[in-house]
Amino acid sequence: MVAYQVTGEDNPVDLVHAVGSVSHLELFWDIPEAAWLIERLSSFARLIRFDKRGTGLSDRIAEIPTLEQRMEDVHAVMDAVGSERAVLIGVSEGGPMCSLFAATYPERTSALVMIGTYAKRIQDADYPWAPTEAQREAFFELMRHEWGHAWTLVLSNREMFKDYLKEM
């Protein structure tokens, strides 16, 4: 099961907000900046948020889903809430998923907004702004050691996050 929440139910525009790899529908309400964003977007749109497979309140999974499977989760959530057509906002890792959805289901997509996302996740000569392999491995190492307890701290402690970003 993919967990989702809808706010701003009476607004005329549907907006699907697909965040990156770290998400938790309820925890975001406890982070002032995230709660502000949810409330602001819900003031003019029916905001449809969800936790991707294996994250947040969604069911745990045994294997990492493909991009196509995750894209179909967007489709399933839109169907579940009765959304015929939506603006998609893809943030970070949610961007490729939203791009694929928009290309696969243009009739269900009214606009595509990309924030801090990428076409691929590793630097090369044609894609110099992506992380190097060493930077990506450092990020993965941090996730391996801190996942499940310190990420809440990283999300709420701006100084710790700034120091981490400087190292990358």
Domain boundaries in the chain? 4-117, 121-168
The pTM score is 0.79
What is the pLDDT tens value at each position of the chain, 168 positions in all? 999 999 999 999 999 999 987 788 998 898 888 899 999 999 999 999 999 988 889 999 999 889 999 999 999 999 999 999 999 999 988 999 999 999 999 999 999 999 988 877 788 898 888 888 888 888 778 777 766 654 544 544 444 444 444 444
From residue 12, how far is each of 4, 38, 80 by CA, in Å? 19, 16, 17
| Cα gap 18→104, rounded to integer Å | 16
CA triple 41-19-69, angle to 5 deg: 125
| Cα gap 108→75, rounded to integer Å | 9
In CATH, the architecture of 4-117 is: 3-Layer(aba) Sandwich (3.40)
Which residues pair with residue 115 across a beta bridge?
91
